[in-house]
């Protein structure tokens, strides 16, 4: 973790709207403040806005669209909403879905302690069971757990997984693979194809984990294998099983995607749109998980412009899902996260605490992520953290982070965004849901509630 906060600081106050949480790093109890404000505001949203009626008599969803913002806590959603206000694009799709449905909070602890990783977090969301960090849809002893996607498939529903990470990364893998070590992505790919555990639709990055023979086997087993944005767009809705591998590793950040040429990776909304076309081609029903996976990566890197780009794209997917639900009221849409990453905070860090609308809008004018710029490594010997981060902010960044994230931290701080860690935090994450069964998520729950309810519904 980064250095301890000062003992004599004073917190600032901000008027919340939706889930907006703009907190100063001066707050002596930042996690408690985030948690308390979020719960209060969420409760207010749930009581003040009436949800539209679902399909008559429906209490079990026919279709489920589960949207996971990896690493996306209240702070990240707060940044998205503050940017939307500043840019004249408020309310966000996230806020509109909250107004139409139910809001709550999820605690994210794994089996062995308070701090989770994506593997344990997604296992809870997929299976309803707490496991240890690094484990993919297996219990702490290594025994396979049944996932809600597997339940859906057993009942004849179509299934899909879409992400901006490798399709074999921890979050998607927890819905369709079983292994004790999340790092064995080649084995996860083999389970998808050779063992037949994968979903009908698999869209994301990760070409390197699907060598030629595995892609050939996938084609022989009925998958249409595509690798470009144009090939994705050309897939007809009646295609059925589809494997889309759009980058050697992770799909590039929104900031870094080439704006020209046939090799440009598809956007997350483009992948989600095609997945919905394929999965809803008949009346069998479906389960679809869409992950904004690189929100987490940007926050690990302490790169605020990259994080906001991924958040904006994720919000576009929320809008797509809400539009689909409006036409298909037997659909449940859930938006949540596996954990929070980075301890993101919006603050100027020094008097007069005047982060402006112009500052937030300027975040979207940045053209490349720190990763895309190829900047990193050890800072020069004469590196002056006070000069780079500001005399006040420098107190929060000990040398270990100057080495790893110096360039990103310095750039993020120009826009009034700071981070307390390059890792995960224990901050509870929001859950917003609309559709049949959504009311069960109101309040504060363990993340295992999601997996338990999805397994229950997808088994019917």
What are the catalytic residues?
118
Q: What percent of the residues of the chain are helix, what percent strand, and what percent coil, each to the nearest 5?
A: 40, 15, 45
Nearest C-alpha neighbor of 165 from the set 250, 105, 223, 82: 250
Distance CA 341, CA 48 (A): 30
- Measured in whole angstroms, the distance separating CA 144 from the mean position of its chain's CA atoms is 24
Residue 202 and residue 243 in contact, taking contact as beta carbons nearer than 8 Å: yes
58 by Cβ neighbours in 10 Å (0-12 / 13-18 / 19+) ranks as: middle
Joined tokens for residue 105: 């909070």
What are the C-alpha distances in Å from 393 to residues 279, 301, 350, 387, 417? Answer: 48, 17, 8, 10, 10
Q: Say if residue 315 is preceded by a cis peptide, omega within 30 of 0.
A: no
Distance CA 411, CA 266 (A): 27
Q: Within 10 Å of residue 149's Cβ, how many Cβ atoms? A: 31
Residue 405 and residue 301 in contact, taking contact as beta carbons nearer than 8 Å: yes
Supply angle C-alpha 341, 347, 353, rounded to 5.
Answer: 170
Residues 6+ apart with CB under 8 A from 14: 20, 21, 22, 23
Q: Within 10 Å of residue 47's Cβ, how many Cβ atoms? A: 10
CA torsion sign for 334, 335, 340, 341 is positive
- State the pairing for strand pair 443-446/158-166: unpaired
What are the C-alpha distances in Å from 93 to residues 314, 320, 391, 404, 431? Answer: 9, 9, 37, 34, 14
- State the pairing for strand pair 286-292/158-166: parallel
Phi and psi based region of residue 142 (left: phi greater than 0; alpha: psi -120 to 50; beta: remaining): left
Distance CA 457, CA 332 (A): 10
């Amino acid at each position: 973790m980064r250095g301890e906060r000062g003992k004599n600081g004073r917190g600032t106050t901000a008027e919340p709207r939706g889930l907006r949480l703009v907190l100063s790093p001066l707050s002596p109890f930042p996690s408690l403040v985030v948690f308390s404000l979020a719960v209060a505001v969420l409760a207010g949203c749930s009581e003040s806005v009436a949800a539209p009626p679902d399909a008559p008599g429906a209490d079990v969803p026919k279709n489920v669209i589960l949207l996971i913002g990896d690493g996306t806590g209240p702070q990240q959603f707060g940044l998205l909403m503050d940017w939307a206000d500043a840019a004249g694009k408020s309310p966000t799709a996230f806020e509109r879905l909250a107004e139409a449905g139910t809001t709550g909070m999820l605690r994210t602890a794994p089996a062995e302690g308070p701090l989770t990783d994506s593997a344990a977090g997604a296992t809870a969301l997929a299976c309803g069971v707490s496991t240890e960090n690094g484990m993919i849809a297996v219990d702490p002893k290594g025994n396979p757990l049944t996932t809600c996607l597997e339940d859906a498939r057993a009942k004849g529903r179509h299934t899909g997984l879409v992400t901006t990470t490798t399709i074999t990364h921890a979050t998607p893998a927890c819905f369709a693979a079983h292994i004790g070590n999340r790092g064995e992505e080649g084995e996860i790919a083999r389970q998808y194809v050779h063992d037949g555990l994968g979903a009908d639709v698999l869209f994301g990055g990760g070409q390197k984990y699907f060598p030629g023979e595995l892609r050939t086997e996938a084609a022989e087993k009925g998958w249409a294998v595509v690798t470009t944005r144009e090939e994705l767009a050309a897939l007809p809705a009646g295609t059925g099983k589809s494997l889309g591998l759009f980058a050697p590793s992770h799909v590039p950040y929104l900031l870094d995607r080439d704006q020209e040429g046939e090799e440009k990776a598809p956007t997350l909304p483009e992948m989600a749109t095609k997945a919905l076309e394929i999965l809803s081609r008949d009346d069998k029903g479906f389960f679809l998980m869409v992950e904004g996976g690189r929100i987490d990566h940007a926050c690990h890197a302490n790169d605020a412009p990259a994080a906001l780009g991924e958040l904006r794209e994720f919000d576009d997917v929320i809008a797509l899902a809400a539009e689909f639900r409006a036409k298909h009221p037997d659909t449940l849409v859930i938006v949540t996260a596996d954990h929070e990453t980075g301890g993101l905070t919006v603050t100027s860090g020094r008097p007069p605490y005047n982060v402006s609308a112009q500052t937030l809008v300027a975040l979207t004018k940045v053209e490349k992520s720190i990763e895309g710029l190829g900047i990193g490594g050890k800072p020069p010997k004469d590196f002056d953290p006070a000069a780079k981060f500001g005399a006040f902010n420098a107190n929060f960044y000990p040398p270990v982070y100057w080495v790893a994230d110096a360039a990103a931290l310095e750039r993020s701080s120009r826009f009034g965004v700071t981070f307390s860690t390059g890792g995960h935090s224990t901050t509870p994450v929001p859950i917003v849901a609309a559709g049949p069964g959504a009311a069960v998520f109101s309040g504060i729950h363990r993340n295992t509630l999601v997996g338990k309810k999805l397994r229950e519904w997808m088994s019917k």
